[in-house]
Amino acid sequence: MGKVPFQFSYHPSYHLRLGDHVFPSIKFQRVRDELEQRGLLHQGNLLVPEAATRDQVMLVHSPEWVAALMDGTIRYEQVMKLEIPYSKPMVQGFLYHAGGSIATAEAALKDGAAFNIGGGFHHAFPAHGEGFCAIHDVAIAIRALQQSGKIKTAMVIDTDVHQGNGTAEIFAGDDSVFTFSIHQRDNYPHEKMRSDLDVELNDRVEDAEYLSALSAGLNEAFMCMRPDLVAYVAGSDPFVEDKLGGLNLTVEGMMERDLMVMKAARKRKIPLFVTLAGGYAERIDDTVTLHTNTALALIRTMTA
């Protein structure tokens, strides 16, 4: 493994401190620690982001939803839809994830790639949160870079097992952002939004079929747009032993998935930033391994 030619973004507040919850947000800290122990993460390539500001969050989210989160006016039914307990530390954590995705996207424009050890909260809608996602960090990063004139166009490639419904809704009808989601058809969310390209998979699809479908989808997506930036939402939940997934990808298949997406952007000389999104394996050690492998895939891609 060669020298890491890109930067990682991480903040201790990425751990949302949700208590005994199926979403193990401690995984972000675990991945950070694993990368450091392997000698891949150090002070020289670590970005410590600022929290996203209210104005940055409002590039994507409604004033009412921003106030509900940041001012504590959230209603019971909104918390139930979000499916995680509300707290000020939780909100602050999401703001740091969003700030991390902004910093990571900016770093990718400079270095060709960058890796947020967090983020990917693709179920957040403009006016509400759901599916453990309160703030859509990837959309905020894209809008912030568009606002500053650093990019005009972007593509979101989402390989989480669950459709990126919030992403699809946020960018619906916006020709400047192409949304591509490859996901399990009969899984959350049960009412799906329309992405620019949706590849819906049957239950228990295995490596070969998945990778064939992904390859075809990537070719179609890049025929539709040659973006200034790619955002890769790299959920680890297509893994065969994921508690909230229903696909049968192996550890090796997951690595090939990551390499396929990354090489597709690299071949076209398009900057790419990575976020981690979902991951709920029976053993948290497996989730940490899969997310760490996504970082290893990016190193392989950028040093090839």
Domain with residue 236: its CATH number is 3.40.800.20
For residues 177-203, give the mean pLDDT: 97
Identify whether the C-beta of residue 169 lies closer than 8 Å to the C-beta of residue 198.
no
Neighbour-count burial for 260-291, b at 16+ CB within 10 Å, e otherwise: bbbebbbeeebbbbbbbbbbbbeeeebbbbbb
Instruction: Residue 135: give the domain boundaries.
Output: 8-303
108: phi then psi, degrees, rounded to nearest 5: -65, -35
- Order of strands, edge to edge, in the sheet holding 230-233? 46-47, 7-9, 113-116, 272-275, 230-233, 154-158, 177-184, 197-201
Q: How confident is the model at residue 2 (pLDDT cuts 50, 70, 90)?
A: low
Give domain status of residue 3, yes or no: no
| Residue 205, pLDDT score | 98
Instruction: Report yes or no on 154 lying in a domain.
Output: yes
Q: What is the pLDDT of residues 115-166, one digit of tens each?
A: 999 999 999 999 999 999 999 999 999 999 999 999 999 999 999 999 999 9
Which residue in this structure is represented by tokens 């669950």? 162
Task: Check if the beta carbon of residue 247 is closer than 8 Å to that of residue 161.
Answer: yes
For 4, phi then psi, to 5°, come to -75, 115
- What tokens appear for 242 in the block? 């994921």
Helices in the chain by DSSP H: which ranges? 26-37, 54-57, 63-70, 76-82, 88-111, 137-147, 165-170, 207-224, 251-267, 284-303
In a domain, 245, yes or no: yes
Whether residue 162 is contained in a domain is answered as yes
pTM exceeds 0.85, yes or no: yes
**Domain count across the chain:** 1
**Contacts of 49 by beta carbon, 8 Å cutoff, 6+ apart:** 9, 11, 96, 99, 100, 102, 103, 104
pLDDT tens for 73-114 read 999 999 999 999 999 999 999 999 999 999 999 999 999 999
Residue reference for tokens 């049968």 = 248
SS3 state of residue 216: helix
DSSP state letters, 138-149? HHHHHHHHHHTT
Calculate mean pLDDT across residues 205-216: 98
Confidence of residue 45 (pLDDT cuts 50, 70, 90): very high
Q: What is the pLDDT of residues 245-303, one digit of tens each?
A: 999 999 999 999 999 999 999 999 999 999 999 999 999 999 999 999 999 999 999 99
Binning pLDDT at 50, 70 and 90, where does residue 3 land?
A: confident
pLDDT at 1 over 90: no
Residues 195, 172: contact at Cβ < 8 Å? Answer: no
Q: Among residues 249, 230, 224, 229, which one has the least CA distance to residue 238?
A: 249
Residue with tokens 């973004």: 9
Hey, how many other C-beta atoms are within 10 angstroms of the C-beta on 1?
10
Residue 216: per-residue pLDDT: 98
Q: How many Cα atoms are found within 13 Å in the side-chain-facing hemisphere of 129?
A: 28
Task: Give the mean model confidence (pLDDT) for residues 221-233.
Answer: 98
Strand partners, 116: 9
Instruction: Say if 126 falls within a structural domain.
Output: yes
In-domain check, residue 1: no
